[in-house]
Chain A
Amino acid sequence: MFKCKAAWNKLAPLARASSTLCRQAGKRAVFRHERTPQFVQPAHMSSGPSGGGGENTLYFVLVGATCLAGGAYAYSTLVGDRERYQQRITEIESRSSKPAAEPSTPAKTQLETAASEPASAAASPAVEPTHAPYLLIGGGTASFAAARSIRARDPGARVLIVTEEDDLPYMRPPLSKELWFSDDPTVTETLCFKQWNGKERSIYFQPPSFYVSPTELESVENGGVAVLTGRKVMHMDVRGNKVKLSDGTEISYDKCLIATGGIPRNLQVIERAGDEVMKRTTLFRKIEDFKALEKVSRELKSITIIGGGFLGSELACALGRRSADLGLEVVQMFPEKGNMGKVLPEYLSNWTTDKVKKEGVKVLTEAVVKNVTYKEGKVEIKLKDGRVVKTDHVVAAVGLEPSVELAKSAGLEIDSDFGGFRVNAELQARSNIWVAGDAACFYDIKLGRRRVEHHDHAVVSGRLAGENMTGARKPYWHQSMFWSDLGPDVGYEAIGIVDSSLPTVGVFAKATAKDTPKAATEQSGTGIRSESETEAVAGSVAVGKAAPTPPPQQKEDYGKGVIFYLRDKVVVGIVLWNVFNRMPIARKIIKDGEEHADLNEVAKLFNIHEE
């Protein structure tokens, strides 16, 4: 019966249409009987009743053709409908049986969560959450900061973090800094480092006991934060407020944060170079990359880092420090004229490069890689100017590609200038969707649209997104900062837009032995630059060579000072060069956004000559 009804429904409009068509064609033929409409010519081939002249034949042919077509269409639609119906039934059936099949897997995958649970989870069919009031996609710094913010503001909030990594949320800066300076031979297992106060802490934001098991999230009394590891969100349905994971699970949400971060970029020449080269290349970002590179540094004889920015320079310095003890050759190459060439003005970039070289690194500037091959047991890097470097292992630190795959299914906008999801000043992409961290291209009221890839920004934006997810409606206002240490002599903190293409004004004092990052952290009691800005961030510095008192030099020594970056005569960025604990003043100057006639007067506010 259903089939007949469906068939009738499908055919009825066609029947009406075809009869209308026939009548119209008939009328036209009657009115213009001297001319045969051209579209009918081919139809003459079909057999029609012979009687009654051209007009009659025309009618019959038309009707016959339409009915044939209509019949064919109806048949195919019916068949398609039936198939779709069957699919739907099987899908619904399979969905109801899926949760029953799942309980054993959550117990295995949630190794890090509440240790007491796995036994009971296997015993009683524990169901993974199908709904999360707060869903955070990505398990990095921004996501964790948001989770913390949500929990602080919404009592009893239930927050679910979904991450494709196998690790609980951790901080990245120590992976290229403190962890390399540790004396502990088991550091790759413990992932602990020493803070300024001598206390050890883990790179994980919180130990596993902080988190609630995902299967308990919906029932636990005061709510909590649960982490689903090893799952990637593949599809986002914004209208239906739900996401689909890589294992097929669907989770609906009330509010969602996208904090997917990014993946390291690679050089095309390396990608094209084949497996032997790719096997010997590290794209450094995660814990596993740190472990792999640490192993390589002990086992191989030569490592080359391609890239002269923050990550490349920090890794070069970290490895350079070990080079003497391990008999390791460390090479760093990049297209710019000096380390941090895109960040620091040329004179400072040159000075920094000298310092990096003193750390034991062979620095090749103005080096553009032409091709990379694997030859006679070595990776051979040929530069465009003819120089050749033979090495055992390559680390590519050439930037980050923001992860925006969800934009397609979610229908979210991607920014064409900066990359990343385009969000407004309140980090919102759509009504219930926010984006924070490396993947967010947001509108900064003071500095304009930008995308920032620093740790403190991830914390600040994650925290702000969490606040806005709980109704705060605040724009990005508290300016995030960043810092870098390139050995015991060179350390700086920076805030705002720090781009070497902008005009700069640098105000310097002569440095004494007291003005180094090492001295700053040892001497200052509570105000560790990174910890005073954001809690739970490591700021300790190399325990290594003592900084010798610099002998009087002929050439200028940029020991410590302040560098202002200007855009249309307004300070938009500040670098505090070996001057610490002054970030609040810098932040204030950027916030004011005023034109200052004499920047030396502004520099006085920093008291650069004092401790």
Chain B
Amino acid sequence: MRKLYNYCDQFCKDQIIFVTKEDHEAPSNAELVEDDPNDPYEDHGLILPNGDINWNCPCLGGMASGPCGQQFKDAFSCFHNSKEEVKGSECIDFFRGMQECMQKYPELYPQEDDNESAPSGEAEAEAEAVLPADSTKEVASGTESPATS
């Protein structure tokens, strides 16, 4: 590890340190403050600490706020609370309602992409939510909804 002080001694305003891979091999001894998972100020992922769905999660994109937002919320809430063997099996009507609404806005909810169809989108989101809610991470990557791409 070399230190370079930009032509002046160690009291220089801008210090520069060059490190090799070996220099950084040993784990860091920097201490980070323990995170409070129930911190009311923190942005949470898809599922809030109390188990509710965070409709404002960036991961949902515009799904909960668009013209079919209400239908989406109904369908997804039903799915989320479903305790059936086949999760969400009793929610067919809600999903149908959502699909009908979405068909009215093809520009917003493109139908062709399988990746982005509603049921599998929710499944992905649920899977993400099962991961420990780490307040330093965004549960945003990879679950972009059709409305935003």
Contact = CB atoms under 8 A, between A and B. Distances in A.
Nearest to A503: B13
Interface in A509-558: 509-510, 525-528, 531-536, 556
A477 B147 contact: no
A506 B70 CA distance: 49
Q: How large is the interface on B (under 10, 10 to 19, 20 to 34, 35 or more residues)?
A: 35 or more
B14 A604 contact: no
A346 B149 CA distance: 39
B141 A526 contact: yes
A526 B58 contact: no
Given A504-B14, A594-B31, A526 B142 contact: yes
Nearest to A156: B70
B122 to A, nearest CB: 16
A594 B30 CA distance: 10
B62 A148 contact: yes
B28 A601 contact: yes
A506 B41 contact: no
A510 B21 CA distance: 9
B33 A152 contact: no
A527 B137 CA distance: 11
A603 B1 CA distance: 13
Contacts of A532: 138, 140-141
Q: How large is the interface on A (under 10, 10 to 19, 20 to 34, 35 or more residues)?
A: 35 or more
Nearest to A149: B56
Interface string B24-48: 1011111111010000111100000
Nearest to B138: A532
Given A508-B19, A592-B32, A212 B67 contact: yes
A1 B57 CA distance: 67
Contacts of B27: 604
B136 interface: yes
A505 B17 CA distance: 8
Interface in A580-603: 584-585, 587-589, 591-592, 594, 596, 598, 600-603
B31 to A, nearest CB: 7
Contacts of B4: 556
A147 B107 CA distance: 20
A225 B62 CA distance: 12
- Where chain B touches its partner, the secondary structure class is loop
A54 interface: no
Contacts of A152: 55-56, 60, 64-65, 69
A151 interface: yes
B4 to A, nearest CB: 7
Given A210-B108, A532-B141, A535-B148, A478 B67 contact: no
B61 A603 contact: no
A536 B146 CA distance: 10
Contacts of B42: 477-478
A151 to B, nearest CB: 4
Contacts of B21: 509, 609
B80 interface: no
A526 B140 CA distance: 9
Interface in B49-82: 55-56, 58-62, 64-67, 69-70, 73
A209 B102 CA distance: 11
Nearest to A508: B18
B65 A347 contact: no
B54 to A, nearest CB: 9
B147 to A, nearest CB: 7
Contacts of B137: 584
B16 interface: yes
Nearest to A346: B14
Interface string A471-493: 00011011000000000000000
Contacts of A604: 24, 26-28, 30
Given A505-B15, A594-B33, A533 B138 contact: yes
A49 interface: no
Contact of A589 (B13, B32, B61, B70): B32
B61 A475 contact: no
B32 A588 contact: yes
Interface stretch (A12-20, A199-207, A275-283): A199-207
A258 to B, nearest CB: 21
Contacts of A601: 28-30
Contact of B19 (A156, A225, A509): A509
Given A209-B108, A556-B4, A195 B149 contact: yes
Contacts of A506: 14-17
Given A156-B70, A206-B147, A506-B16, A605 B28 contact: yes
Contacts of B14: 345-347, 503-506
Contacts of A155: 69-70, 73
Interface in A104-133: none
Contacts of B41: 474-475, 477
Contact of A556 (B18, B70, B144): B18
Interface centre among A148, A503, A510, A535 (most CB of B within 10 A): A535
Interface string B79-101: 00000000000000000000000
A209 B140 contact: no
Nearest to B4: A556
Interface string A184-212: 00000000000101010100001101101
A248 B34 CA distance: 55
Contact of A605 (B1, B19, B30, B66): B30
A199 to B, nearest CB: 6
Contact of A588 (B108, B136, B141): B136
B6 interface: yes
Interface in B109-149: 136-138, 140-142, 144, 147-149
Nearest to A556: B4
B81 to A, nearest CB: 17
Ranked nearest first, the 8 interchain pairs of A and B with the lowest CB-CB distance are A151-B65, A604-B28, A526-B142, A526-B141, A152-B55, A345-B14, A477-B41, A536-B148
29 contacts: A152-B64, A155-B70, A197-B149, A199-B149, A201-B149, A209-B107, A209-B108, A222-B67, A467-B56, A477-B43, A478-B43, A505-B14, A505-B15, A507-B19, A508-B17, A509-B18, A532-B138, A532-B140, A535-B58, A535-B59, A589-B32, A591-B33, A598-B30, A600-B23, A601-B30, A603-B17, A604-B26, A609-B21, A609-B24
Interface of A: 147-153, 155-156, 195, 197, 199, 201, 206-207, 209-210, 212, 222, 224-225, 345-347, 463, 466-467, 474-475, 477-478, 503-510, 525-528, 531-536, 556, 584-585, 587-589, 591-592, 594, 596, 598, 600-605, 607-609
Given A152-B64, A535-B144, 17 more contacts: A148-B62, A151-B64, A152-B60, A201-B148, A210-B67, A210-B105, A347-B16, A509-B18, A525-B142, A556-B18, A584-B137, A588-B32, A591-B33, A592-B33, A602-B28, A603-B17, A603-B24
